[in-house]
Amino acid sequence: MKYLHTMIRVADPDKTIAFFEVLGLKEVRRMENEAGRFTLIFLATPEDMNAPGERARAEVELTYNWPNEGETPEEYTGGRNFGHLAYYVDDIYETCQRVQDAGHIVHRPPRDGYMAFVKSPDGISIELLQEGGAKEPAEPWKSMPNTGSW
C-alpha cells in the first residue's frame, strides 16, 4: 500500500493555489473534466516530486466543482471536520512569517518553536512542524496568542 494524495474541495482554485505556494507546494498536474464539470489540481512539495509526468510521492488534490452558468461556486464549511494536512518545514519562523506576509493568519503561532497551524482560504487546517525538532522559542511568536480555531 502507498499513500497517494489528500483531496480537499475548493471554491477558488487560484486563491487556494496561491496559499499553498506560500507554503512551498507547486502544481504538478491538472485535469479538466467537462462532462463531470470539475477540475482536479495536484500539488506537491519539491521534495516529493518525481520525474515530469509521474505522480509525486505525496500530493494534495484540489477539487473544484464548476458552478452552473450564472451561479456562484459552492461554499464549503466544516474544514475543521476534515482534520488537517501536516508538513515538516525547514524553518518554522520563516514559514509563518511568509504566511503572514502573504495576508494569511497564523492561527496557532509556533510559541514552542515546533508547531504552528494555518488555514487555507477554504478553511482547511494545515499543521506546520519544525523539521528536526523544536527551535529555541523566539519573539514575536512565543508571546503571540491563538487566533480563532485550527
Tell me, yes or no, if 127 is annotated catalytic: yes
106-108 vs 38-44, strand pairing mode:
unpaired
Closest CA to 115 of 98, 139, 95, 140: 95
d(CA 58, CA 42): 10
Strand-strand pairing, 59-65 and 5-9: parallel
Contact in structure between 56 and 25 (CB atoms under 8 Å): no
| Cis-peptide, bond into residue 140, ω within 30° of zero | yes
Which of the following is catalytic: 54, 59, 75, 127? 127
- Alpha carbon 95 to its chain centroid, in Å, reads 12
CA distance linking residue 66 with residue 85, whole number of Å = 24
What residues are labeled active site? 127
